[in-house]
Structure 1
């Protein structure tokens, strides 16, 4: 099973709109074209599909992502409007990957850039994990780790420690995929692998105390090959 993660597209209703360092729609198109060449079985888009929270931006994303020849799924980020997303394409909370499960955890707080899981969503996660002990990949928008970047950590997952307390009881959770950070990440906590992925648009400068764009970096995507209870993963960058 080959999964490709794409994230943080930040599209506008205007297809010609610019970001700080490029053109979001053009860059998403380039990333999707490259991803098609990887022959994925499934593509996950891990939030911040829109920048301006417009229906038109989701329709643009849907048009580009529908060029994929495999099923694709998206989840909401802090810049998104889930109701508008759902009107274009459903947001799924779980995807059956055969020997694996993909569970989506909503970390968004309406009107805020930071993330929280909250007691209700944590309780729901416990129920879902108790129901199936297959190897599990947990997908969320906000990273569940401190990154060492002051401004980015300030808008990270506020109740990450509560999440890790829950995960301690469920060793079938083998890895977490996140968006939001606009950079590659490979880390571990409590035996769980945590991966972040470059944005399809602007990249954030790792380790920066203040907001900064990494102008030397390029858009990219993550490939994840799943076999039984093991996996191999890496990041690919896209030339523009």
Structure 2
């Protein structure tokens, strides 16, 4: 089973609109071409689909992402309007991946750049994990760990420790994948009984400079995506960059 994560498209209603570095639609189209060559079984788009939060931007995203040669789904980021997303396409909360499964979490808090699950969504996650012991991936927009980029660490998952208390009870959670940070990241979170891999993904749009104290772009880094290859009891992953 091959799963691909793409994230942070930041599309505008105007297909020709420029982003921070380049034209986001053109960048997304190049990523989609590269992803199709990977022959994935599923694609997850982990938030910040839109930059201007217009219905037209989501319609453009839906048309463009539908060029993927695999079933795809999306989840919201801090820039997104979930009502407009669902008018275009459903927001599933779970993917059946055969020997594995993936849970898609909504960490959006409207009006805030940072995210939070909150007590109700954490309880729902606990119930979903208790109901299935297959190896599990979690996808969310906001990082639940510090990534070493100070301004981004200030707008990560506000209730990260409460999130990890839920995960600590469920050894089947193998990895947590997030967007939001516009850069590749790999780490682990040590829990009482097990360790969980934690992965950040490059954006399909502009990249942020790793390690920066304040907002800064990484002008030398290309857009990209993450590949996750799943086998019984095993996970391999890599990041691919897409040159303009």
TM superposition score category, shorter chain reference? over 0.9
Distance in 1 between residues matched to 2:9 and 2:233, nearest whole Å: 30
Residue in 2 aligned with 1:206? 210
Q: Structure 2: 5+ residue runs without aligned partners?
A: none
Deviates more, 1:29-38 or 1:146-155: 146-155
The unaligned stretches of length 5 or more in structure 1 are none
Number of the residue aligned with 1:232: 236
Aligned residues: 240
Aligned pairs (5 A) from 1:64-103: 64-103=64-103
How far did residue 153 of structure 1 move? 0.9
Where do 1:100-115 residues align within 5 Å? 100-115=100-115
Q: Which digits, 9 at most, give the CA deviation of each residue in 1:199-232, with x for residues without a partner?
A: 0000000010000000010000111100012111
**Cα deviations by residue, 1:97-121 (Å, 9 ceiling, x for unpaired):** 0111110111110111001111110
Shift of 1:94: 0.4
Q: How far apart in 2 are the matches of 1:149 and 1:4?
A: 24
3-state SS of 1:37 partner: helix
Runs of 4+ in 1 over 3 A off after TM superposition: none
Structure-2 residue corresponding to 1:220? 224
1:148 deviation in Å? 1.8
Equivalent residue for 1:42? 42
User: Could you report, residue by residue, the CA deviation over 1:26-59 in whole angstroms, capped at 9, with x for unpaired residues?
Assistant: 0000000110010000000000000000111111
Query: Could you say which residue in structure 1 is the equivalent of 2:118?
Result: 118
The root-mean-square deviation of aligned C-alpha atoms, in Å, is 0.6
* TM-score normalised over the length of structure 2: 0.97
Equivalent positions of 1:97-176 (< 5 A) are 97-176=97-176
SS at match of 2:38: coil
1:2 maps to what in 2?
2
Residue in structure 2 matched with residue 186 of structure 1 by the alignment: 186
Cα deviation digits, residues 87-140 of structure 1 (max 9, x gap): 001010001001111101111101110011111100000000000010000000
